[in-house]
Amino acid sequence: MPRSTTIIGRSLHFLFLFAALLLESISGRYTTKSVSSLRRNTVATQDIVLAAEDATLFESSLQSNHVGFTGNGFIDYGEVGSYAIWSVDIPVSGSYQLILRYASANNRGPMSVLFNGTKVGEFLIATTTSWTNWISETITVSLSAGKDKELKLFADVIRGPNVDMVTLKQLDTNSGPSPSFKVVLEPNQSLVRNQFVASDSGAYETGLNSGGDLVVRDKPSSTVLWSLAAAIKENISGDRMYMQDDGNLVIRDSNQRAVWDSKTYNNLGAQFSINNKGGIAVISRNQQEVWTGGPENRRAPIGGSSTPTPVPVPTPYISRNPTSQPTQPPWRPQPSGNFPYTTVLQGNQNFGRGTFVESPNRKYRVGLNSRGNLIMMEGTSEVWRLKDTQRRDISSIERAFMQSDGNLVLREMSGRSRWNSETSNNFGSEFRIDDGGQLSVVYRGTVIWMDGIPRQIYRGPSSPDLQFPVRGMFYYAWYPETWTIGGVKVFYRPNLGALPQGHYRSDDPLVVQEHVKALDYAFTDLGIISWWGVSNRLDRARITQLMDETVRQRSPIKWTVYYENEMENNFTVDEIVNDLNYLKHWFAWHPTWAHKDGKPVIFVWNENSCDVANRWKEAGRRANWYVVLKLFPQFESCPNQPDSWHQYGVANDYLEHPPYSFCIAPGFWKANDPAPRNPRIGRIRFCEQVAKMNKSGLDWQLVVSFNEWGEGTAVESAVEWSSASGYGDYLDCLHDPIRFG
């Protein structure tokens, strides 16, 4: 979409939102107060209680229908996007404990804490079994001094719990970490060489020096006061230091190999910090210093092995624990994302016929029945059965194995494999069942295979209609599987945002996070994900991960798939309808799935004949989908027309087909071709094409592609076209073709 159109559209959106909020507040849907009218809360030596009734609420309300709250009521949070705001005076910059008192009879977390618009922490939100059972959760955050600061408790992932109050407690030298610590790295953040963060006092700083060693320096003079390599008497030469979400501080070299780690995993939410005396520490959520270093030497460094045991994966996660973790007892219920789960099988475990494992709430059971089918039961009813990609039953299984390499394998009596989850090379993965009836293979907290019961049911449009013109970006979620084409490695070197230079995994959470940010930066309205039909893992797990991250970032991007199989298979109408129903079952109910004319949208890569239009027109009618076919010569003469047409292609110039489609691409050079078919154009020419596309006003304004690295059409940032923004020349052009052109 043209940038000016996007800005105007978003301005109108906020204008309409303000008007709606005003009307809703009059009608009583929202409990709202102006921030200036709130009682100002000041943190001093005494604890400050932020009561529910003193908050400004959005899409939430003050209620009193459950006993046990302490004030005039509690905040009954609404759906994703609801929040509460308090006005607070912070007298001194430093670390503070936030103590949240809440009730959550079912899963209602996590929740983000924002301070003046910046995220400073996150509450996990445990399940409390009933709405009258109130518990407290404590986190530590770093707050800056000032009056009328805005503290926001935001339900940005899932509907929020019932909140009674928030208590602020200033940490002094006798409480928690001492003296005052400043957060250097929060979970999933990293530092590169020669990047330093100073203490609150400004006297000290810590980071990786030019040689890749973790050091503490006197900031004014840059004199090294402490060195990790000297402390453990081993050479340390890293390229980047990561604070992983599991609590482990890890230094990795340029090949992503771990060269040192703090051995502090299993401390979810821990932070790496520096204090005003030059001490550094990994600090857990309950304010324990689980690793320390620095010239103060209040404790000897904990852990510090320079030779952690690497997990042998071909393309490792960027921010995952590189060391062997203690194994947990199987079948033990544990919290996991949206739903508590039970670990059914860990590596090298198996079960046979007649063995069933329950979800934590005991609602669902998964196991092998007497005929050798892997099934899930709800009470006495079978609610799910494993099928192959052709939707045929898989039977005669004798045992289910969770291999040490992460592959879930079903074997016959003879030992022959009948089915597997295609998740090998993910050492340490687990097979799980959760309270929502979802089955998954999980690698280091990320779902890499998914089946069972979807989170919701499609009951109609899950998102507002797309408004033309729509800027679409073709997206590929198939890495590391396709970093090699015809035996030849892709020769471009991606380097987007916070991602290290080089190849990545599509299911790496940091990669997904950076990709959504980049698509947003390029004013993308629609992501079109390459889809080759029902898959054991590539579609359900990876598409869901992209859509969930889009919600987490509150991005306006919508998603659909590019139905690739039509080009090689003349599917019958019934077969197409089955695929469309599958997509509805697993994806179209999601709030980020694209809709037009009240119908879910699908793009199709198809052959050049009116027969394809006949079949897809009828399938779309029967399944109620908005079908966008790939145009071909004389497509407009076909008697049966789909809902719309588009072009996917690369040429020496842009491809314009009024009134339907405008398509641009930076070039085409397949990895195993000796020379480019279409040489890559530079920034200035690409910006010119973006400007022409914006001016065209055509319905589908499409970019080939965001990250098809194998064919060399990617606009994602790479070393070869990097820029000061971190997004690369081509995304810069899509952000503002006038400024960057």
Long-range CB contacts (within 8 A, 24+) of 612-619: 612/566, 612/570, 613/638, 613/640, 613/641, 613/642, 614/638, 614/639, 614/640, 615/570, 615/571, 615/572, 615/573, 615/576, 616/566, 616/576, 616/642, 617/641, 617/642, 618/573, 619/573, 619/576, 619/577, 619/580
Per residue in 487-544, pLDDT (tens digit) is 899 989 999 988 888 899 999 999 999 999 999 999 999 999 999 988 755 689 999 9
Per residue in 217-242, pLDDT (tens digit) is 988 888 888 999 888 888 899 989 98
Q: How would DSSP label each residue in 229-261?
A: HHHHTS----SEEEE-TTS-EEEE-TTS-EEEE
| Mean of per-residue pLDDT scores for the chain | 84
Query: Which are the contacts of 665, defined by CB distance < 8 A and separation ≥ 6?
Result: 649, 650, 651, 678, 703, 704, 705, 713
pLDDT at 41: 52
Q: Is the pLDDT of residue 355 over 60?
A: yes
Q: Is the pLDDT of residue 39 over 50?
A: no
On the 0-12 / 13-18 / 19+ scale of CB atoms within 10 A, 162 is buried
Amino acid, single-letter form, for residue 309: T
SS3 475: strand
Q: Tokens 């079949």: give the residue.
A: 615
pLDDT at 82: 85
Residue 225 near residue 295, CB atoms below 8 Å: yes
**Percent of the chain beyond pLDDT 90?**
57
The predicted model gives 186-206 an average pLDDT of: 88
Q: Is the pLDDT of residue 136 over 60?
A: yes
DSSP E strands in 9-117: the ranges are: 41-42, 48-51, 56-58, 61-63, 74-76, 83-90, 94-103, 111-115
SS3 198: strand
Query: What is the distance of C-alpha 690 from the center of its chain?
Result: 28
**Which letter does DSSP use for residue 587 in this model?**
I
Q: How far apart are CA 627 and CA 602, in angstroms?
A: 5
Mapping DSSP onto H, E and C, the string for 91-102 reads CCCEEEEEEEEE
Q: Is the pLDDT of residue 320 over 70?
A: no
The predicted model gives 136-145 an average pLDDT of: 83
pLDDT band at 129 (very low <50, low <70, confident <90, very high): confident
